[in-house]
Amino acid sequence: MKIVVLERNSVGQDVSMDAIGELGEMTVYPNTTAEDVKEKITDAEIIVANKAPLNEDTLKGAGQVKLICEFATGYDNVDLEYCKSRGIKVANVVNYSTDAVSQHTFALCFYVLEKLRHYDEYVKSGAYAAQDRFSNFDLPFTELAGKTWGIVGMGNIGKKVAQIAEAFGCKVIFYSASGNSTCTAYERVEFDTLLAESDFLSLHCPLSDKTRNLINLDALKKMKKSAILINVARGPVVNDEDLYTALTQEYIAGAGLDVTSTEPMRDSNPLSKIMDSNKLIITPHLAWASNEARNRCVFETCKNIEAFLRGEDRNIVNA
């Protein structure tokens, strides 16, 4: 089998690809743009990708492709119906980044909630050493205990976040954007109720027609002025322009984002104008990328390919 890895950098150069290389003749590209895809996959039988578009336009000249493996759980870069019409199977990896994303959810929350940038700079500037009292808390912050933690998307990550929030003493409520959730461990509420009651609202849902721009200005105005929004799902779930308005007009207290509407975030994105880290922190889509998670991602991809070579379906999303 000729295996073409289109976006090796998406899992990091520090993660070994040797196990995949043992399964066939492997060609590795550090990164691939939309314009590069066609020429790189001409004779590929197995494609390993992350964000590179794989659709009729890019795949029509690649007549040997039998399997596409995602270095991710999401697969919105792949036209599943076209692949199915061609007999091309598409496999993703699941539950490899649950711990990492859940951890980062609370890292973003605490950074904004406890004004950590402010207090770190207060100490390092010498202001703390110059004062005559033992403590400083000029920017007040609250506890999680006794608050309500709202969740959109009660999959593996949402459930892990719910467990952690409960451990901190939060009441957990959730909204099912798809309407298909079977979770009974936590209270399921309507969207407007979620917005009105959540002190902290974290997003863990896939991007779909139902979730695109779910968090818009109308939704943000229904939230508590003291609320903090966390998006570790997909950027377009939140309307960035509307979030900018909500933060600058103080409709909500703060936000922590690991994803934005375009990645990398463009200079034209109004959120780039907010320099106040007590109000907004943005990280570069790294919530999933712990050392352990990236190694699991490659390991699970390898297992998907091994299963395919044995004639078995594993994590196939377009069966």
Which residues are identified as catalytic?
234, 263, 285
Helices and strands counted in the chain (H then E): 12, 12
Helix axis angle, 156-167 to 98-113, nearest 10°: 50
Secondary structure percentages of the chain, helix, strand, coil, to 5: 35, 15, 50
Tokens matching residue 288: 């999933």
Residues pairing with 27 in the sheet: 4
Nearest Cα residue to 298 out of 4, 12, 2, 3: 12
Phi, psi of 91 (to 5 degrees): -120, 140
CA 27, chain centre distance (Å): 28
Helix axis angle, 116-124 to 98-113, nearest 10°: 60
